[in-house]
Amino acid sequence: MTATAQSAAGAGAGQSDAILEVLHLTRAFGGVTAVNDCSFQVRRGTITGLIGPNGAGKTTAFNLISGFLKPTSGTVIFDGERIDGQPPHVIARKGLVRTFQIPRPLGAMTVLENLVLVSAGQEGERVWNVWFRPGRVGQREREIIDRALAVLEYVDLIHLRDEYAANLSGGQKKLLELARALMAEPRLILLDEPGAGVNRTLLRRLVGYIEELCFARGITMFIIEHDMDLVARLCNPVIVMSEGTRLTEGTPEEVRNNPAVLEAYLGGQYR
């Protein structure tokens, strides 16, 4: 845990190497402690994987980091700032954006509307501005629409621009989740099982997007994933959670060969 190794790349003056720091995070639901004294870091500019058997507390950890759940105790630091206990919309506005495990499109709205909704700093979200200063609202709206169109081009959903989001296929909904996250101008995206239920072709595309967004555009990615092949291809480092806490961390290769990890997944009988 003391591995705050200063890497030369990415760490600017006064900037810590870790974009996300989780310290002794704990969350109890009644008698069950889903996340238990869990500590880890996500380094800036990496695609960090979060794996672990079912019930290890991965999604709960994501919910605690993104503010959808309040921790029982512990600290979450995003880019040098404490964010634990803050409401989700405040955290999202700081640039820490999450996607959902099962895509949640706003079904009765068009694909374009789903994206345009997300942008921050919309003066038109104050109804009196809409009534009394429509000019300014329209100007900002135009900028946001053009940005949304560019994002739709990028994820290749532009042809579905005016389709109701409910009518999208499963894979397209995954892309919509990613596109919506991009509209928030994030610095860190928490992706909850991006590969689940996605066919090979789309998976290849998703991998391409994630790598490009991280390495070319500098958006750190923190990914929960069960598909070990995908993790091995995409993530480095990989954090392993088991029974609510961090078990180990390392390259995909190290993690795969770690007997403790095998034990956590398979339950001790192969000891």
Q: Among 11, 23, 77, 145, indicate the residue that binds other proteins (CB under 8 A).
A: 145
Q: Among 108, 200, 217, 270, indicate the residue that binds other proteins (CB under 8 A).
A: 108
Cα separation, 15 vs 46, whole angstroms: 15
Nearer to other proteins, 47 or 182 (CB): 182
Nearer to other proteins, 148 or 241 (CB): 148
Q: Among 180, 198, 206, 224, indicate the residue that binds other proteins (CB under 8 A).
A: 180
109 binds other proteins (CB under 8 A): yes
Cα separation, 146 vs 150, whole angstroms: 6
112 binds other proteins (CB under 8 A): yes
Cα separation, 124 vs 114, whole angstroms: 16
Alpha carbon distances (Å) from 27 to 90, 191, 225, 248? 20, 20, 21, 20
- Residue 226 structure tokens: 């069960």
Alpha carbon distances (Å) from 266 to 109, 168, 196? 44, 37, 21
Min separation Cβ 193 and other proteins, Å: 16
Nearer to other proteins, 93 or 256 (CB): 93
The contact pattern for other proteins, residues 159-178, with x = CB under 8 A and - = no contact, is --xx-x--------------
Is residue 237 within 8 Å of 260, Cβ to Cβ? no
Cα separation, 129 vs 258, whole angstroms: 58
Residue whose entry in the numeric block shows the structure tokens 């860190």: 188
Number of residues engaging other proteins in binding (CB under 8 A): 47
100 binds other proteins (CB under 8 A): yes
> How many CB atoms sit inside 10 A of residue 106's CB?
15
Nearer to other proteins, 77 or 184 (CB): 184
126 binds other proteins (CB under 8 A): yes
Strands (E), 83-134: 96-98
Cα separation, 65 vs 85, whole angstroms: 9
Amino acid letter for position 58: K
Nearer to other proteins, 75 or 122 (CB): 122
Cα separation, 17 vs 42, whole angstroms: 9
Min separation Cβ 148 and other proteins, Å: 9
The contact pattern for other proteins, residues 63-92, with x = CB under 8 A and - = no contact, is ---xxx------------------xxxx-x
Residues lying near other proteins in the complex (CB under 8 A):
66-68, 87-90, 92-93, 97-100, 104, 106-110, 112-113, 116-118, 120, 122-127, 130-131, 134, 137-138, 141-142, 145-146, 149, 161-162, 164, 180, 183-184
